[in-house]
Amino acid sequence: SSELTQDPAVSVALGQTVRITCQGDSLRSYYASWYQQKPGQAPVLVIYGKNNRPSGIPDRFSGSSSGNTASLTITGAQAEDEADYYCNSRDSSGVVFGGGTKLTVL
Amino acid sequence: QVQLQQWGAGLLKPSETLSLTCAVYGGSFSGYYWSWIRQPPGKGLEWIGEINHSGSTNYNPSLKSRVTISVDTSKNQFSLKLSSVTAADTAVYYCASMGIAAAGTGGWFDPWGQGTLVTVSS
């Protein structure tokens, strides 16, 4: 099966913009979806499809894709955005997740 | 709005079989892939496998030899069995749904169950 690669950790100053990336061959054929996970909680979907947000997700979250790379952008990061972020997509075997990115808001 | 509620044994001994069930409330059972996903302590998410309402399954190749996912459409429930568990199977296990139509463009999991911590220890 294919893999999705994420940077293990990223930091951003409060109120600034941060981009979290996800790379993998399957992303040439499929969109990535993105999940936010805080300690002790189940993951929460924040971006799906081309660039769609579920109800209740702030519009500071956005998604984009180019070639084999998908990106999650948080414009004006808030303290409550500090969390682990995971990308996922389908591949030839079924479903694949990225390793996760720990976002620290400074 | 669809909600998922899961349950199952939380403490197992090595070589036993893990068994979890997830119930679907508030929505259609057809038109979705029903998945199991796990997360070892301090680690990332791993997809285990999926089933649709007609019972067609798809498993993670790395776990395929030990995994069985089944569905009970009369109860709107689906279940996971993982045989011959070891300490490496200690994880929080989640159930989640993905729309079949959405899967064609990559798909997404929403909603998720609350998670069940399964510990394998002698």
Pick from A45, A86, A94: which is nearest to B45 by CB? A86
- Match 């180019």 to its residue by tokens: A66
Per-residue DSSP letter, B100: H
d(CA A43, CA B55): 26
Q: Which residues of A touch B45 (CB under 8 A)?
A: 35, 43, 86, 88, 97, 100
d(CA A34, CA A98): 10
Per-residue pLDDT tens digits of chain A, which is 106 residues long: 569 999 999 999 999 999 999 999 999 999 999 999 999 999 999 999 999 999 999 999 999 999 999 999 999 999 999 999 999 999 988 999 999 999 999 9
What is the pLDDT at residue A1?
56
DSSP string, chain A: ---BB--SEEEE-TTS-EEEEEE-GGGGTS--EEEEE-TTS--EEEEBTTTB--TT--TTEEEEEETTEEEEEESS--GGG-EEEEEEEEETTEEEEB--EEEEE-
Which two structure tokens, joined as six digits, stand for B10? 């939380």
Please indicate whether, in this complex, the C-beta atoms of B106 and A31 are within 8 angstroms of each other.
yes
Please indicate whether, in this complex, the C-beta atoms of A30 and B107 are within 8 angstroms of each other.
yes
Q: Which residues of A touch B49 (CB under 8 A)?
A: 94
**B112-121, pLDDT tens digit by residue?**
999 999 999 9
- Match 């996912």 to its residue by tokens: B69
What is the pLDDT at residue B1?
85
d(CA B31, CA A72): 28
**B34-46, pLDDT tens digit by residue?**
999 999 999 999 9
**B61-93, pLDDT tens digit by residue?**
999 999 999 999 999 999 999 999 999 999 999
Pick from A30, A45, A94: which is nearest to B110 by CB? A45
Q: Which residues of A touch B47 (CB under 8 A)?
A: 88, 94-97
d(CA B51, CA A2): 20
What is the pLDDT at residue A39?
96
**B13-31, pLDDT tens digit by residue?**
999 999 999 999 998 888 9
Please indicate whether, in this complex, the C-beta atoms of A94 and B60 are within 8 angstroms of each other.
yes
d(CA B98, CA B105): 11
What is the pLDDT at residue B89?
98
